[in-house]
Homo-oligomer: A and B are copies of this chain.
């Protein structure tokens, strides 16, 4: 698989998710809904449409494809996990949380609308994710739909993404008397990252495996891939932040260093962190051996995650 083939695949998967989300976020109420308030719908569309790599949908799609599963049902699962990712960005950007004004070069939802609308848009997207999964258009087998629901909820709640954001706020010293960042050790930093971003990336792979009716051994192999990929994603993120700092004198300092936050780079140093990243990419790829060349796209995805520049 060439790099161009991979990018084309990534783009096609992103387009499919975008189109499905666009169709789900329409003014017409679904059965059981009374109306869809225009301002809220507009904020949800603003948050979800027109951007992003759609990495999680890509992982769902390519994992399901290993088992010959594709089509609208799979894309609905992609839209569901993307709603979770999207809501988390809307809420994390809020003034009381990370207080960000821009996201992908556009004003954040609470800047483009207002804080109340942003909170509700996030709540609406979080709820929509589970509405999508429960509908039989996602999979005819109810056992599959509940398994998808459980995987997504477990990865994104108190013991996963939401809990990770909590740990992140704590690590920044938000709740210490003088706002001094916690001196988290490597293990605490790994746990925080595994919860905040790793769990949802691993869930994307797991959802693909669930849709694919993967057997126990295959599902465990894919879980190993998903975990390694999630860790690689986070080290790449830390490296991006730290190397952006070193790049040119006079450029803005890395955000993490400025906040005094522990990252894997601050624990390991640049060189060891780069080695660790390479090792994780190998580990992710090796976990796929049972799938042979069918898994080449997932292998390329591991490279893509490690090499990303934004």
Contact = CB atoms under 8 A, between A and B. Distances in A.
Nearest to A139: B146
B126 A123 contact: yes
When all copies of this chain in the complex are counted, the total is: 2
A40 B174 CA distance: 13
A221 interface: no
A33 B126 contact: no
| Chain A interface size range | 35 or more
Contact of A33 (B119, B135, B154, B167): B154
Interface stretch (A90-98, A278-286, A301-309): A90-98
A32 B123 contact: no
Contacts of A94: 119
Contacts of A149: 130, 133-134, 146, 149
A151 B37 CA distance: 20
B163 A134 contact: no
A187 to B, nearest CB: 11
A191 B35 contact: yes
A18 to B, nearest CB: 19
A91 B117 CA distance: 11
12 contacts: A33-B157, A33-B160, A35-B159, A36-B158, A116-B174, A120-B162, A120-B166, A123-B126, A127-B153, A127-B156, A131-B154, A142-B145
